Chains A and B, each alone.
Chain A
């Protein structure tokens, strides 16, 4: 559709327009990728698996892997149920929904580090939660102690649920707005209950939004790091946190690069997995 005097420039206009971004992205993505692979797999005497070996042998690596995956598996379904409930509540247009929406999406602009510090004020030993427990005459609890792995996991989970649900909420609300009201009304005229309408009318049409949000959130959840860092330090190791630790404190960029590649591999596998899974099921269920 190049309407603009085709003969004038030697390169087609769209290429000129996207060119800079293409060059920039290629340089900033492809170059580091090559360097990263080289960092992880080559040493002084050519190719080596030494750094990978060191990564795997490290006492924190497997716990970090376990925590990262466990966090995703528990967090994502909870988060989606929560966000969907919130979006449906807003859809019912309760009074003050403008205020509710504002407060519910606030964490959208809050960084993961800030979220960790916010919840630190609540969960720390002499923090607000223990203060409340004390006032109620209950025994304070060491929520963030490494001796209580379950509560440590729960605190990180709650902080992440608090911080990142608003992203899912915004995507779902946008998706709900795209659903024509007629479908829902027709279903209700024909006597469908709320749950039937949710299951057979709303959710199927929300599928594309949910799919995008799911992929995006999983990839972002894989990168969870500063929340756990602020709450628990290395007591709750996560893969990305380990990269930071190896790079900044152990000054070993090679092992850090190796862990980064593990994160990359997991995120690619999950993205492809989601696309497969969601595409295979869609033809029958969508309509």
Chain B
């Protein structure tokens, strides 16, 4: 690798001593400028996370002081524990967990076979089906939530975790299908055929040979689904009254809660994201970046 910006070839061949020194200096200058820019962006992206952590871990009393301290001088779990013991927070947490897991299970159950079909078969209606998936992904959540509330009211599902699960599954399913189909495409068809030559039936070959190989990718898809469900707030807020998920609970009490409660809620909602990205870093580009198309 030579310098990134190479002039026409001739000067390079007969480059005198001083010129290479200058080129090296220019290269180092660029590297420093790049680092400065990277640090600046990192501060913009990271500082707010530091500050919400600081706010969530400060005592109520220190949050009432002005100016607020920018350094963790006065850490306490008081704000978080008050938040966690407020009405609806722990149930909301459990509801979120439940909805997330149900959504994950249901969307895998329905989505994985469809992803497999997209990856392995060229069938009539494949293109329209993909178009249909894209179309559903482009639909705003609000458009579904309000009428679904009415539908669920008449069917007795309103204000249950099942109602939220159905909505979240509908939102996650297109992505699940697209991601799992990409995962199945990466599993060589030969393996499946070899298993069938050795006497496995089609479903057996899929269960014993293809699925184990696709499992890491499917797990990644499952985690995306869970996070989507964990983060979704509007639909959950409209479809529930007492069985609120955590974000819906925080949203509903936003107007008449003290700042400390809101900061603690912010931190509680941010923490799973930090863990999730740490676990998923390897998959992000391939899963999210490429298959989102």
Contacts and interface: CB of A to CB of B under 8 A. Distances in A.
A106 interface: yes
18 contacts: A13-B117, A14-B121, A31-B151, A86-B41, A89-B37, A109-B273, A113-B251, A114-B247, A117-B52, A118-B51, A126-B66, A162-B44, A170-B285, A174-B286, A219-B138, A243-B146, A253-B149, A260-B143
Contact of A229 (B149, B150, B174, B251): B251
A170 B284 contact: yes
A14 B255 CA distance: 50
A244 interface: yes
Contacts, number: 306
Query: What 9 A-B pairs have minimum CB-CB distances, sorted nearest first?
Result: A174-B289, A117-B266, A111-B231, A131-B67, A109-B273, A114-B269, A36-B147, A17-B117, A35-B147
Interface in B261-284: 262-263, 265-266, 269-270, 272-274, 276-278, 280-281, 284
Chain A residues touching B, range: 35 or more
Interface of A: 1-5, 12-18, 20-22, 24-25, 28-29, 31-36, 39, 85-86, 89, 92, 94-97, 99-114, 116-122, 124, 126-128, 130-132, 134-135, 162, 166-167, 170-171, 173-175, 177-178, 188-189, 191, 193-194, 208-209, 212, 215-216, 219, 222-223, 225-226, 229-230, 233, 240, 243-244, 247-248, 253, 256-257, 259-261, 263-264, 267-268, 271
Contact of A32 (B7, B143, B174, B292): B143
B146 A171 contact: no
Contacts of B173: 21, 24-25
A32 B148 contact: yes
Contacts of B111: 21
B238 A244 contact: yes
A25 B170 contact: yes
A193 B237 contact: no
B35 interface: yes
SS of A interface (majority):
helix
Contacts of A113: 231, 233, 247, 250-251, 269
A120 B255 CA distance: 13
Given A89-B41, A109-B227, A175-B289, A20 B68 contact: no
B261 to A, nearest CB: 10
Given A89-B38, A121-B55, A247 B45 contact: no
Interface of B: 4-9, 31, 34-35, 37-38, 41-42, 44-46, 48-49, 51-52, 55, 64, 66-70, 109-111, 113-114, 116-118, 120-123, 125-126, 129, 132-133, 136, 138-151, 166-167, 169-170, 173-174, 177, 193, 202, 227, 230-234, 237-238, 247, 250-252, 254-255, 259, 262-263, 265-266, 269-270, 272-274, 276-278, 280-281, 284-286, 288-290, 292-293
